[in-house]
A = this chain, B = another copy of it.
Amino acid sequence: MEGVRETAPKTDRCGGCAIRGVAICTSLTEGDRHALRAMGQPRHYGAGDTIFGEDERFGFLANVVSGVVKLSKTLPDGRQQIIGVEFAGDFLGRIYRDRTSFRAEAVTPVHLCCYPRARFEALVAATRGLEERLFRDALDELDSAREWMVLLGRQSAREKVARFLQMIARRNAGGCGPALGARFELPLSRADMADFLGLTVETVSRQMTRLKTEGLIRISNNRIIEVEDVGDLEAAAGGWAA
């Protein structure tokens, strides 16, 4: 699990909580930033802990400071689909909704910086530009949800796995310019990958070894992935630049 922390984007302090550059902090004036800093409360979860369940009250909003969180929905009969994965800097919870509609679970040890809902919403109401900031983030989430719909509905198992790896590689690349290759630690188990991609564990495993034997990736310790050429991976993913 160490590798995940290592490859996380650089952080800067924000009232005891480290917030990545893209987090909501950055678009604020110094005064507002101070107000946000003042209300942030650190919380910690171990790998596997539930942060919140489906359809329950969630009194906080939070920035993910470190670690990886998976968001999932479950059918009545237990079938599960992961609908999103959040990394350091991502925002968890939504204003205007105090009921959750999906489960959030720590995949690695997770640090959150939590803001009590009432106080946060008051700050949003009082702060010029903060609502827009959150709105834009929601639109980004909407776009990625829709891209994932294309993957789930129309792509093959090989393409799904390749595109998943590509996504992780891109996330980990952070600000650094586009490199030819990449090396990173997978934050998710094969089972979680399967739930994200709408496949079974066995199929994910087979496609991983297939990509390996094809020479597109190298695998050590089951979780450490080296990509030879990101372009090749993109081609295997069905040609997807974004």
On A, residues with C-beta under 8 Å from B are 73, 75-77, 79-81, 83-84, 94-97, 101-102, 131-132, 134-136, 138-139, 141-143, 145-150, 152-155, 197-198, 238-240
Contact = CB atoms under 8 A, between A and B. Distances in A.
A146 B101 contact: yes
Contacts of A73: 146-147, 149-150
A150 B71 CA distance: 12
Most buried by B among A102, A139, A146: A146
Nearest to A95: B135
Contacts of A79: 154-155
A238 B152 contact: no
A50 to B, nearest CB: 18
Contacts of A97: 139
A167 B147 CA distance: 21
B142 A138 contact: yes
Nearest to A97: B139
The number of times this chain is found in the oligomer is: 2
A173 to B, nearest CB: 21
Contacts of A197: 153
B150 A153 contact: no
A225 to B, nearest CB: 23
A101 B97 CA distance: 26
Contacts of A149: 73, 81, 83, 145, 148-149, 152
B154 A153 contact: no
A152 B155 contact: no
8 contacts: A81-B150, A101-B146, A102-B146, A138-B142, A141-B142, A145-B149, A149-B149, A153-B197
A77 to B, nearest CB: 7
A195 B142 CA distance: 19
